Structure 1
């Protein structure tokens, strides 16, 4: 059974629910607008206590008061309603761990804090996660950073807890946020649940075999991995346009900076990255070629260029690749440009494995010789090398 529930968080608990609690002279009018089954629980004293505690922003005490009410009350908001339904139906374990991914706003933080205290009072382990850029004041930031960071945050939770033991509750939050959570769950074969306020019960989006093009991933693995690793990274359009495919369009967004066009991953592209990272990398690691004996490894070979101050860092980088990758025999440079920038990455060019190193002002390209004998082994080397950037070498 699923023992961890990753939840998107919205604002319905605060607005309109708690923020519109009535003063005593408007209580009767307000009560008539509540669902009939809820009214018996919403006494004048209960409502007055909730209203006062909310206005004092005492989230710990407010959580305790709410925890005394049935989780089915509409007043409790989308998150509590849906989680209560999931627990009641046994879709997750009774003491499931709850991870709340909330917006990059003060209100989002406050709601997540309240939810954490609420579920801790009920015996759950609960943790809030603020998703950088997930706010509606700057739509561009929301699209380019917020939704991608949501994918990364949820994917991290799935990796740490084990996707096979997790479920996603995509009830709360922005509509785009819900859509991305559903797409991620389906791509990673994790069940996703959703409850609309008019639904009598929660519904499931069962894990589906989302079609992901492995050949496309391999062909463009270098820059896809580089951009997926860091949501702030981007690469000039001119560095990828020669090998461009229309199939890549849903995975990227274009931004213009100082008259130059750059590409970055779209939220869908981030899902694409996370899905292959989870589903393909473990399998590909099994196909890495045999290690090269130490005595057969060679020092980096540098072509005849005026390298200037770049020579030493390039040699160190190539030597590091040779040293830390068991399957690498050696590296040799074949291209140098002292006035070009690019992402550090690796790619397959025909039967050759090529690497790119740039410090932002110059770029060098080099070939990596390995012990691989088959295309499958070369593909495994490619994925392994791109995953090592930032870990084993810069």
Structure 2
């Protein structure tokens, strides 16, 4: 099982949708109270109706992050929300939406009151750090843990980063400039980055590493983005990566992200899809054939590769 601990903000309510057509914008964009700390939805039916017909990438910071983490239906998702009315409302709507799209285990937990008054930060943040440590200790025996810090107050993101670094738990967030899931580096007390990261326990491929990449150049050379060279080297260095080939179906993976292929190889081995995107003219989609045969293998491989890719961007 994977546990995703995610801080919740209010982007569901407040995103301006400037780059969307009028028909795609959230109906409450012009609601006079959407930036105030009070509830604006009479019921969750209104936001859910819009969310069901919208892409997860644009709904909110939280849905964009979860979509990129590609959770299994039985994975645990813990949404940490502020004690504000707007924060509670967004968390409740997100919980209902995640359950609607198939997530069976979505929990809510309220954080101590945090607001924009700097002098009031310290005590609530201390309580948050203690709570986060406690939950990590409880969940570690169940499998891998990821801290997702895209949503919420910036101070909450800082606490996520500090606790993740101290306990060796990966911390990710959406980097808007690269439209990618980025992972924070681990820093030791001397200030030097550490190489510590999750490693999947899959069999090693017997293929020569120089033969792993078999992405044939076509007339357009796949319009490969600048990141491809770094990613190519990364894939060669991962021992459970058996073969990498072009696959147009992998364009369905998140931009600069990965997801598991719904179809296994003929011998039962699992496949990951990777979509690298620099622009509409410079992108590439590849299938990554692994040495794993089980859902656990696929989840572990995705976790390792997602974290390592997140350190490239």
2:155 pairs with 1:176: yes
2:36 pairs with 1:6: no
Compared with structure 1, are the counterparts of its residues 64 and 14 closer, same or farther at alpha carbon in structure 2 (3 Å cutoff)?
same
2:113 pairs with 1:133: yes
Mind listing any 5+ residue stretches in structure 2 that lack a counterpart?
32-38, 191-313
1:81-110 CA distance string (max 9 Å, x none): 1111121xxxx4454221111112111111
Equivalent residues of 1:134, 1:142 under 8 A apart = yes
2:158 pairs with 1:158: no
Cross-structure match for 2:244: none
Q: CA RMSD in A?
A: 3.0
Equivalent residues of 2:6, 2:151 under 8 A apart = yes
Aligned-partner Cα distance in 2 for 1:86–1:159: 21
Aligned-partner Cα distance in 2 for 1:128–1:60: 19
Equivalent residues of 2:13, 2:28 under 8 A apart = no
* 2:66 pairs with one of 78, 83, 87: 83
| 1:1-394 equivalences in 2 (<5 Å) | 3-15=2-14, 17=15, 33-34=18-19, 39=21, 43=23, 47-48=26-27, 55-73=40-58, 76-87=59-70, 92-124=71-103, 125-136=105-116, 138-143=117-122, 145-162=123-140, 164-206=143-185, 208=186, 210-211=188-189
Aligned-partner Cα distance in 2 for 1:86–1:115: 16
Aligned-partner Cα distance in 2 for 1:64–1:187: 41
1:329-373 CA distance string (max 9 Å, x none): xxxxxxxxxxxxxxxxxxxxxxxxxxxxxxxxxxxxxxxxxxxxx
Larger relative contact order (CA 8 Å, sep ≥ 6): 2
Shift, 1:55, TM fit:
4.7
Mind listing any 5+ residue stretches in structure 1 that lack a counterpart?
21-29, 213-394
Aligned-partner Cα distance in 2 for 1:47–1:104: 24
Aligned-partner Cα distance in 1 for 2:152–2:53: 25
Larger Rg: 1
Shift, 1:198, TM fit:
3.1
Compared with structure 1, are the counterparts of its residues 140 and 86 closer, same or farther at alpha carbon in structure 2 (3 Å cutoff)?
same
Compared with structure 1, are the counterparts of its residues 199 and 133 closer, same or farther at alpha carbon in structure 2 (3 Å cutoff)?
same
1:195-229 CA distance string (max 9 Å, x none): 133332111125x36449xxxxxxxxxxxxxxxxx
1:36-58 CA distance string (max 9 Å, x none): xx54xx627x7548879x95432
Aligned-partner Cα distance in 2 for 1:60–1:192: 32
Aligned to 1:5, what secondary structure does the other structure show? strand
Shift, 1:7, TM fit:
0.5
Equivalent residues of 1:3, 1:165 under 8 A apart = yes
Shift, 1:179, TM fit:
1.4
Equivalent residues of 2:26, 2:50 under 8 A apart = no
Equivalent residues of 2:7, 2:150 under 8 A apart = yes
Cross-structure match for 2:258: none
Shift, 1:190, TM fit:
0.8
Aligned-partner Cα distance in 2 for 1:43–1:14: 17
Aligned-partner Cα distance in 2 for 1:8–1:116: 12
Higher relative helix content = 1
Aligned-partner Cα distance in 2 for 1:60–1:147: 33
